[in-house]
Amino acid sequence: MNEQSQSSHWTEVVGQLMEKLTGKNMSMTYEFDDLTIDVPSARGPGGRDLGGVQWKINGKVTITTETYQKGSNSKT
């Protein structure tokens, strides 16, 4: 297995997983409950310290997808 075929195998696996996570003809709801993320400090222009920040995420995001046949108005 060379580097390219190994890479394409993983790409295929990740692609299939992403397809599951984004959904096809279904609704996906991501529910965030007090998700806290510490964003580390960063350097701005001139090496200025921009400091760190803490994000708190609450709420729901629903993604609903439908697939259509290309060049046709009818749904698959």
Partner 1 sequence: MSSAPHNTVEKEDMLSYWLAKSLRSITSGSIKLHVSDKPALKIEAIDNKDKNKKINIDFLEPELFSFDIKPEDSVEENPSFFHKLKNAFDDNLKNAFDLTKMITDKDEMMLSFSKKFAHYLTINGVTLSISRKGKEAITIGEEAKPTLSRLLTRSDDVQIKSTMEAAKLTDDVLTDE
- Distances in Å between the Cα of 44 and the Cα atoms of 13, 51, 54, 55, 57 are 37, 9, 18, 19, 25
As measured in angstroms, the least distance from the Cβ of 70 to partner 1 is 24
- Distances in Å between the Cα of 72 and the Cα atoms of 6, 24, 26, 46, 68 are 37, 18, 20, 55, 7
Nearer to partner 1, 2 or 73 (CB): 2
Nearer to partner 1, 5 or 73 (CB): 5
As measured in angstroms, the least distance from the Cβ of 61 to partner 1 is 10
The contact set with partner 1 (CB under 8 A) reads: 1, 3-4, 6-7, 9-10, 13, 16-17, 20-21, 23, 26-40, 54, 56-57
